[in-house]
Amino acid sequence: MDNQTEVRKFILLGLTSLQGLQKFLFMLFLLLYLSNLLGNMAIMIVVICETRLHTPMYFFLCNLSCLDIFFSTVTMPKMLAGFLSGHQDISYTGCLSQLHFFYFIGSSEAFLLAVMAYDRFVAICNPLRYTLIMSPQACLLLAVGTWTIGFLHALMHTVMTSRLHFCGPNHIQHYSCDIKPLVRLACNSSQLNLNLLNIITGSLAIGPFVFTLLSYLYIFSFLRLKVQSKEGRRKAFSTCVSHLTVVALLYVPVIFNYVPPSSGNSPRWTMIATLMYNVVTPVLNPLIYTLRNVEVKRALKRRLFSRE
C-alpha cells in the first residue's frame, strides 16, 4: 500500500548541492534575470512609443521580447528562492503548471523565429508586395498562430504527464519540472510520453529551424546576385546576422535536448542545454538586436538621453 501512495510534492535538486555556491549562484542568476527584464522591457517600450518602429519586423521583435520575459519567469523565481532557502520543493500542481508554461512559451518562441525569417524573406526578396503580404491583419494572425501552436503543444504534454502515476522517489534531477527528468520518476510506463517528446517536440524544433535556414540561404543568394547597392546589401546583412545569431542560440541547445533519443542525454548536459535557451538566450537577445540595429539604438538614445 505504501508503494501506491501518490506523490503530491517534488524536490528539485537544482544546479548544485554545494552550500558554498548557493549565494554566488543566487547573485549570478539574479543579475541575469534582472538584465533580461530590463533589456526586453526597454525594447518593448521603445517599439511601442516610437511610431517609426511600428513595422512588422519590430512587431515580431516586441513579441519575442515578451516571450523572453515570460520564458525566464517560468523557472527563475523558483530557482532563486531555492538558492536562498537551500532546497526547492514544488507541489504536483505547481510542477504541471511550470511544465505547461515552459513548453508553451518555448515552442511559441521557436515558431516566432521562423515567422521573423519569413518576414525578412518577403521584405528583402519581394519588397514591392511587402506591405500587402505583411499587412497588420497578417502580422496579427501570424503572431496569434505562433502562440496558439505553442499552447496546444504544451497542453498535449501537460495532459499526457498528468496521466502518469508518481508513487516512488520524488527528487527531480533538474532545476525545473522538465518532462524528461519528471517521467523517469513515474511508476507506470512513460514510453508514450517519451515518444511524443521525440517525435512531436523534435519535429517542432527541426521544422522551424530548417525553414529559417532555407529562408536565409535564399536571402543571402538573392542579396549576392540581385542587390547592387552596397549600402542596401550591408543593411540587409546586418539585420539577418542578428536574427541568425538569435536562431543559433535558441535552436542549437533545443535540438541537442530533444532531437536525440530522450533517454540518451545525461541529466547534467540536459540541464546545461536548458539553461542556455531558458536563461542565457533571453538575456543576450536584447543586446544582439540593439548592438546591430541602428534604428533601435537611435530610438533608445532618444528615449534615454533626450532633453525633453
pLDDT of residue 3: 47
CB 220 within 8 Å of CB 230: no
* Residue 238, pLDDT above cutoff 50: yes
Residue with cell 500500500: 1
pLDDT of residue 140: 96
Which residue did the predictor score with more confidence, 287 or 141? 141
Choose the weakest-confidence range: 171-180, 204-213, 274-283, 288-297: 288-297
Residue 34 to residue 12: CA distance in whole angstroms: 23
Strands (E), the chain: 9-12, 88-91, 171-172
pLDDT of residue 152: 96
pLDDT of residue 226: 76
* Residue 305, pLDDT above cutoff 70: no
Choose the weakest-confidence range: 28-32, 179-183, 214-218, 224-228: 224-228
- The pLDDT confidence band at residue 2, using thresholds 50, 70 and 90, is very low
DSSP H helical ranges for 177-262: 179-183, 191-196, 202-226, 230-258
pLDDT tens profile 173-201 = 888 998 888 988 888 888 888 888 888 88
CB 92 within 8 Å of CB 7: yes
User: 89 φ, ψ to 5°?
Assistant: -110, 150
pLDDT tens profile 144-176 = 999 999 999 999 999 999 998 888 788 888 889
pLDDT tens profile 32-84 = 999 999 999 988 988 888 888 889 989 999 999 999 999 999 999 999 988 88
pLDDT tens profile 263-283 = 456 777 888 889 999 999 999
Residue 34 to residue 57: CA distance in whole angstroms: 25
What does pLDDT average to over the chain? 86
